[in-house]
Amino acid sequence: MTLITRAGASFLVLALATVTYAAPAPETPPPAAPLPDAVGLTKVSARLAPVDLTVDVGALPAGERAALTELLAAAKMMDGLFLRQAWAGNDTALFELMRDRSPLGQARLRAFIQNKGPWLRLDGDRPFLPGVGPKPPQANFYPAGATKAEVETWMHALPAPARTSAEGFFTTIRRAPDGKLQAIPYSVDYQGELELVAARLREAARLTQQPTLRAFLEARAAAFLSNDYYASDVAWMKLDANIEPTIGPYETYEDGWFGFKAAFEAFICVRDDAETAKLTKLATELQDIENNLPIDAKLRNPKLGAAAPIRVVNQLLGAGDANKTVSTAAFNLPNDERIIKAVGSKRTMLKNVQRAKFDKVLIPISKIALAPRDRAAVSFDAFFTHILMHELMHGLGPHETAGGKSMTVRAALQQSYGALEEAKADIAGLFALQFLIDKGVLDRALEKSVYVTFLASSFRTLRFGGDAHAVGMAVQLNALLDAGAVRIAKDGTFSVDASKIKEAVRALTAEIMNVQSAGDGAKAAELLRVRGVIRPEVKAVLERLTKVPIDIEPRFVTAEKLLQERRAP
Ligand code: ZN
């Protein structure tokens, strides 16, 4: 309840500061399907388990703490900006919901805040407010009355520089008074809010003593006003500070027409130095792991390139696109190909978010899906270390096909590539952890935990349905079942057979890497067709998990505390 009040209050300020009105009535009438009632909607929202997200900021000097607090204030403004981007009617709808004190009004307000709009994102965008109609796929990036064909025809007819701008990440398409379409830079369309955000970033830059952080904040403040984000993205890649802010327009999923337009979001985090040290240790072992992969020696890479940087952080606040329904546990940015070519991209792992998911989702899953004797071995350390290893293992193994005409594995395997590559990173991650345990780099006590935790986690991944990670996970679980390395008891619970798991992991790692190296698209497709399926025994477990939360609903308590201190005289 307090979450709703606090988040609602911050939205209210933004709703009042923004002059946007509901979109014109949609051309098609709203569907006749009944809207969920208060009880039904409360049940739907409860699939995200509330959890306090805390971060220890005690070690930060006063100046850095003050800079962090300014960043939190800037980040909060991403919520209002994202609401405007997602749907033109959001501000009005939210304002009305906040005045509705009835149980139905309160249930709708919570659902609205979770979904950042009046459609249930986890349920095929089913509406839960009357009169809103189906979710417009073009969001509020294009004129409400325009059709996709009209916008596309207009874009294609533009001369080169104007077309690049119209199709770019950082413009909206609006209609001029004469009815013609035009591209408006974000710096103009969202000028009022972005000036306020930029002022906060400049104040944070003034407060911090960390040069790379100051450089990023000044560059990003300038980008919000100039609409040129290049220099600030480069500065973000060079960031080496105990405060890790990510703030701006990034992902393009909200643009359901073309995937062109970037949605505003923020992740305000502090670096986890202990985990970063652990990661550095694991990274130094990569060449040795590669040299010992269970594949033909000539398929191994004798000289691995530099791995993409990975940061382990704890999140204080997520806002805008980064704070709706399923919480982001890791992200890889930037998306701009020009930056990736010039300076690469960075993977950020949100450790406290993963901890919350572990506590609220993985532990309850393990209590239902695993045999009683395996449950106690499920551990967060094993869960998180395997996720780190998964990310690192994407860089190992064959990336080019062997033999005559060499090509990338991605090009050779085409639509089978994604699921197989995810399966490889998972299973080779287990192989690598065992290798490091045997080598004495990691504690022997981790051994049992690693496999049992992975087994519990496989059900978590399978619940998300048909994406590359879920199909890849089905391949692994079925292979381990076929090898007798995972067993199913009469009561339907799953367990690890310690005598068989190591060899099964080794064999599957070899099998997948050999298919990748051969570039055999037909064999890859066949492997996914046969093993990338949910078998009845697995389906039976998934059906028993319906009461377990799908994900978490974070309460950003440390962020709220810091912001309250800022407001106090
Ligand atoms: Zn992956």
Ligand 1 centre distance from Cα of residue 322 (Å): 19
CA distance readout (Å), 197 to 11, 78, 142, 221, 381: 15, 9, 24, 7, 37
The answer to whether 201 and 71 are in contact (CB under 8 A) is: yes
Query: What pLDDT is recorded for position 29?
Result: 52
Angle between helices 417-439 and 446-462 (to 10 degrees): 170
- Across 369-483, the runs of DSSP E, i.e. the strands, are none
Ligand 1 centre distance from Cα of residue 307 (Å): 14
Ligand 1 centre distance from Cα of residue 466 (Å): 15
In a domain, 116, yes or no: yes
Ligand 1 centre distance from Cα of residue 347 (Å): 11
The answer to whether 223 and 248 are in contact (CB under 8 A) is: yes
Query: What pLDDT is recorded for position 467?
Result: 77
Ligand 1 centre distance from Cα of residue 477 (Å): 16
Ligand 1 centre distance from Cα of residue 392 (Å): 9
Structure tokens at 129: 């407010």
CA angle 33, 36, 38 (to 5 degrees): 160
In a domain, 550, yes or no: no
Secondary structure (DSSP) of 298-323: GGS-SS--PPPPEEEEEEEEEEETTS
Contacts of residue 330, Cβ cutoff 8 Å, sequence gap at least 6: 347, 348, 349, 350, 354, 387, 391
Ligand 1 centre distance from Cα of residue 388 (Å): 10
Q: Tell which of 73, 102, 135 closes a domain.
A: 135
Distance of alpha carbon 390 from alpha carbon 354, whole angstroms: 14
Ligand 1 centre distance from Cα of residue 468 (Å): 9
Ligand 1 centre distance from Cα of residue 165 (Å): 32
Ligand 1 centre distance from Cα of residue 116 (Å): 27
Ligand 1 centre distance from Cα of residue 430 (Å): 13
| CA nearest neighbour of 433 among 562, 289, 549 | 289
DSSP H or E stretch at residue 59:
none
Ligand 1 centre distance from Cα of residue 107 (Å): 36
The answer to whether 241 and 215 are in contact (CB under 8 A) is: no
Count of structural domains, the chain: 2
Ligand 1 centre distance from Cα of residue 469 (Å): 7
* CA gyration radius, the chain: 25
Ligand 1 centre distance from Cα of residue 421 (Å): 7
Ligand 1 centre distance from Cα of residue 348 (Å): 13
Ligand 1 centre distance from Cα of residue 49 (Å): 25
Range of 455's domain? Answer: 293-302+370-533
Ligand 1 centre distance from Cα of residue 409 (Å): 15
In a domain, 315, yes or no: no
Ligand 1 centre distance from Cα of residue 71 (Å): 30
Ligand 1 centre distance from Cα of residue 492 (Å): 29
Ligand 1 centre distance from Cα of residue 394 (Å): 7
Distance of alpha carbon 419 from alpha carbon 517, whole angstroms: 16
Q: In the block, which residue shows the tokens 């269970």?
A: 294
Ligand 1 centre distance from Cα of residue 275 (Å): 19
Query: What pLDDT is recorded for position 345?
Result: 87
Cβ atoms within 10 Å of 411's Cβ, excluding its own: 12
In a domain, 478, yes or no: yes
Ligand 1 centre distance from Cα of residue 213 (Å): 28
Query: What pLDDT is recorded for position 568?
Result: 77
Q: Tell which of 135, 162, 191 closes a domain.
A: 135
| CA nearest neighbour of 216 among 189, 194, 244, 188 | 244
Ligand 1 centre distance from Cα of residue 390 (Å): 6
- At 370, phi and psi to the nearest 5? -95, 155
- 3-state secondary structure at position 332: strand
Ligand 1 centre distance from Cα of residue 38 (Å): 38
Ligand 1 centre distance from Cα of residue 397 (Å): 14
Ligand 1 centre distance from Cα of residue 475 (Å): 15
Secondary structure (DSSP) of 123-147: GTTEE-STT--SPPTTTTTS-TT--
Ligand 1 centre distance from Cα of residue 276 (Å): 19
Ligand 1 centre distance from Cα of residue 419 (Å): 9
In a domain, 142, yes or no: no
Q: Tell which of 75, 104, 135 closes a domain.
A: 135
Ligand 1 centre distance from Cα of residue 464 (Å): 15
Distance of alpha carbon 219 from alpha carbon 242, whole angstroms: 18
In a domain, 130, yes or no: yes
Ligand 1 centre distance from Cα of residue 457 (Å): 14
Q: In tens digits, what is the pLDDT along the chain, a chain of 569 residues?
A: 222 323 333 333 333 333 333 444 445 554 557 899 999 999 999 999 999 999 999 999 999 999 999 999 999 999 999 999 999 999 999 999 999 999 999 999 999 999 999 999 988 899 999 999 999 999 999 998 999 999 999 999 999 999 999 999 999 999 999 999 999 999 999 999 999 999 999 999 999 999 999 999 999 999 999 999 999 999 999 999 999 999 999 999 899 999 999 999 999 999 998 888 888 888 899 999 999 999 999 999 998 877 778 899 999 999 999 999 989 988 889 988 888 888 888 889 999 999 999 999 999 999 999 999 999 999 999 999 999 899 889 889 998 898 767 888 988 998 899 999 999 999 999 999 999 999 999 999 999 999 999 999 999 999 876 678 889 999 999 999 999 999 999 999 999 999 999 999 999 999 999 999 999 999 999 999 999 999 999 999 999 999 999 999 999 999 999 999 988 76
In a domain, 148, yes or no: no
In a domain, 396, yes or no: yes
Ligand 1 centre distance from Cα of residue 422 (Å): 5
Query: What pLDDT is recorded for position 102?
Result: 97
